[in-house]
């Protein structure tokens, strides 16, 4: 079992998914921002990532990125098996 997935059982974790129409540069920037928090980030597929927060301060930073920043505009977040949709803009060209 990969280290990230193993830690997801013991620590707060999120699964995020980026839509197909979003350019890779946009979602890669978001993934990089999540990694910059020090959290573990593991790709589950091309546009789906598991994010594991090992420390409380990481959880605060990741939570802010996922729910209060541009990342929430670009992605859907799964928490505890329930999906929380991001607010996709009407004109994705402006994203």
Over the stretch 5-42, which tens digit does the pLDDT of each residue have?
A: 666 667 888 888 888 888 899 889 989 999 999 999 99
Cα separation, 65 vs 15, in Å, equals 13
**Greater confidence, 92 or 43?**
43
**Greater confidence, 44 or 63?**
44
- Rounded to the nearest integer, the mean pLDDT of the chain is 75
- β partners of residue 2: none
- This prediction has a pTM of 0.70
CATH for 3-94, among 3.30.70, 1.25.40, 3.80.10, 1.10.30?
3.30.70
Does residue 83 carry a pLDDT above 60? no
């Amino acid at each position: 079992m990969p280290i990230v997935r193993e830690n997801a059982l013991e620590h707060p974790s999120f699964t995020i998914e980026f839509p197909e129409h979003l350019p890779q540069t946009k979602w890669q920037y978001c993934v990089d921002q999540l990694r910059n928090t020090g959290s573990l980030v593991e790709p589950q597929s091309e546009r789906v990532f598991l994010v594991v927060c090992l420390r409380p301060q990481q959880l605060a930073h990741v939570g802010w990125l996922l729910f209060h920043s541009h990342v929430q505009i670009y992605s859907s977040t799964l928490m505890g098996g329930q999906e929380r949709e991001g607010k996709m803009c009407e004109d994705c060209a402006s994203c």
